[in-house]
């Protein structure tokens, strides 16, 4: 098995290109199923979650061509109503295939979704929303069977602005008859990107960027071949910002979008960084050991993203002073704490609250990632630790980062992929 080895102590310097957004491309790939033709998507990240979505599309009859970071999806010949269990258990986002497949085929079955181990992650909001659009959903034996005679537009009120539920209902509404009004939607930039992609394909959507999306259903024939370029991944951007805040140095994050990063920029500013945004990207400069951050709460966008809580916890673990973190979105997102403690961090957990007491230094250790962003947090911890850190179970990290070692090597870090000795024999 491959693991990541980091020898800490180097400041980061240089310029890296930020990969396309995972959380934008996954629903966009699902949305390509709505059209009985060809969709071209540029700047797709080459990560295992995207590979998984490609396999699912192929299993249900799509032809997918990959040319570097461009994916060309031909969804003209769908031939299955079942989303294969093997991939569903690997990737929770597969649930968002329900909306487009109901639009296209009126029938779909899927087993309960898997994904990162960061809490219960229920799907009740998806189910309730789709039922409002005239979908019958039967839940039995860990399987959801969804069918409709005709998708019918309706008003849907989300009790929480769930990203996935917003996407699923939006995708179902595109080919529904009449108007769908979705209230209290998620406002994450990836929702806006999905809306722009759908508009570009011929869908009719109003209210983009607000709390309410209004979708005027169109006919299958109104959708057409389209081309779209995915924006930079704001979570990868934020991970590298946390890394620079921790190690010190000066890095240009090419392609990073300032408007998506306002809350994160405000946090790194307080940690002592100086940032400068240009139309080409964001420059981050950190000269000293980071300052602590009084109270960091994760919230739906535009609040601080839950996906960056662990990377920032790692950076704050060596800050000057104490920080308090409150995780409001996923209850099990503190699994990485055990590993950070093994590296010498001083962190106390009480339910949603983490008290991070900054220590002078972390020490290298053998650690394990349990989920994607927690894994990235361990890489950051390794970058600032004294000595060598070996991070195991890196397949979680590869779900979301194209090449975290390659990126950080370019910035001068002492980091590489290694093979377990048993594998080399």
Residues that bind ligand UD1 (CB under 6 A): 23, 26, 92-93, 121-126, 160, 162-165, 186, 190, 305-307, 329-330
DSSP state of 104: H
- Specify the residue, 96 or 205, whose C-beta has the smaller distance to ligand UD1: 96
- Strand 322-326 with 295-297, pairing: parallel
- Specify the residue, 126 or 289, whose C-beta has the smaller distance to ligand UD1: 126
The closest residue (CB) to ligand UD1 is 164
User: SS3 string of 60-98?
Assistant: CCCEEEEECCEEEEECCCCCCCECCHHHHHHCHHHHHHH
53: nearest Cα among 83, 82, 80: 83
247: nearest Cα among 315, 345, 341, 322: 315
User: Length of the chain, please?
Assistant: 425
Instruction: Yes or no: say if 190 and 232 are a contact pair by the CB < 8 Å rule.
Output: no
Strand arrangement of the beta sheet that strand 204-206 belongs to: 155-157, 179-183, 212-216, 204-206
Residues labelled as active-site residues: 116
- Specify the residue, 26 or 271, whose C-beta has the smaller distance to ligand UD1: 26
Q: Report in angstroms how near the CB of residue 153 gets to ligand UD1 at its nearest.
A: 21
Which residues have CB under 8 Å from 68's CB, separation 6+? none
- Specify the residue, 160 or 417, whose C-beta has the smaller distance to ligand UD1: 160
- CA separation for the pair 331, 353 (Å, rounded): 10
Instruction: Yes or no: say if 290 and 313 are a contact pair by the CB < 8 Å rule.
Output: no
Q: Report in angstroms how near the CB of residue 404 gets to ligand UD1 at its nearest.
A: 16
Q: Report in angstroms how near the CB of residue 13 gets to ligand UD1 at its nearest.
A: 29
Q: Report in angstroms how near the CB of residue 100 gets to ligand UD1 at its nearest.
A: 15
Cα within 13 Å of Cα(170), Cβ side: 36
Instruction: Yes or no: say if 254 and 16 are a contact pair by the CB < 8 Å rule.
Output: yes
**Could you tell me the sign of the dihedral formed by the alpha carbons of 209, 213, 214, 219, in that order?**
positive
Q: Report in angstroms how near the CB of residue 326 gets to ligand UD1 at its nearest.
A: 14
- Specify the residue, 139 or 280, whose C-beta has the smaller distance to ligand UD1: 139
Reported in sequence order, the residue ranges of 184-334 that DSSP labels E, i.e. its strands, are: 204-206, 212-216, 226-229, 249-254, 274-278, 281-286, 295-297, 322-326
Q: Report in angstroms how near the CB of residue 120 gets to ligand UD1 at its nearest.
A: 6
- Specify the residue, 190 or 339, whose C-beta has the smaller distance to ligand UD1: 190
């Amino acid at each position: 098995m491959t693991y990541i080895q980091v020898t800490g102590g180097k400041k980061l310097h240089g310029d890296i290109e930020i990969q396309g957004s995972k959380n934008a491309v996954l629903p966009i790939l699902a949305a390509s199923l709505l059209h009985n033709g060809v969709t071209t998507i540029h700047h797709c990240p080459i990560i295992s979650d995207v590979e998984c979505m490609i396999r699912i599309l192929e299993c249900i009859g799509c032809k997918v061509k990959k040319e570097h970071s461009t994916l060309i999806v031909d969804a003209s010949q769908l031939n299955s109503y079942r989303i294969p269990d093997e991939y569903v258990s690997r990737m929770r986002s597969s649930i968002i295939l329900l909306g487009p497949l109901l639009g296209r085929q009126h029938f779909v079955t899927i087993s309960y979704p898997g994904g990162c181990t960061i809490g219960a992650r229920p799907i009740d909001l998806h189910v309730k929303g789709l039922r409002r659009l005239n979908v019958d959903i039967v839940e039995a034996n860990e399987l959801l069977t969804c069918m409709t005679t005709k998708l019918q537009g309706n008003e849907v009120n989300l009790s929480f602005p769930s990203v996935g539920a917003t996407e699923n209902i939006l995708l179902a509404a595109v080919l529904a008859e009449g108007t769908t009004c979705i209230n209290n939607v998620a406002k994450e930039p990836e929702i806006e990107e999905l809306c722009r992609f759908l508009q570009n394909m011929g869908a009719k959507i109003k209210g983009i960027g607000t709390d309410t999306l209004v979708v005027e259903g169109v006919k299958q024939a109104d959708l057409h071949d389209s081309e779209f370029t995915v924006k930079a991944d704001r979570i990868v951007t934020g991970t590298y910002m946390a890394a620079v805040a921790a190690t010190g140095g000066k890095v240009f994050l090419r392609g990073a979008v300032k408007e998506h990063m306002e809350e994160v920029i405000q946090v790194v500013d307080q940690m002592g960084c100086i940032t400068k945004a240009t139309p080409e990207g964001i420059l981050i400069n950190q000269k000293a050991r980071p300052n602590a951050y009084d109270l960091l709460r994760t919230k739906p966008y535009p609040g601080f993203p839950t996906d960056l809580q662990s990377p920032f916890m790692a950076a704050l673990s060596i800050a000057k002073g104490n920080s308090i973190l409150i995780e409001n979105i996923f209850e099990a997102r503190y699994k990485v704490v055990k590993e950070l403690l093994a590296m010498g961090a001083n962190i106390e957990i009480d339910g949603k609250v983490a008290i991070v007491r900054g220590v002078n230094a972390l020490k290298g250790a053998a650690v394990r990632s349990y989920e994607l962003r927690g894994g990235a947090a361990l890489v950051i911890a390794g970058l600032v630790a004294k000595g060598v850190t070996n991070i195991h179970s890196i397949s979680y990290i590869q779900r979301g980062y194209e090449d975290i070692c390659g990126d950080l090597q370019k910035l001068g870090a002492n980091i590489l992929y290694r093979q377990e000795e048993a594998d080399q024999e």
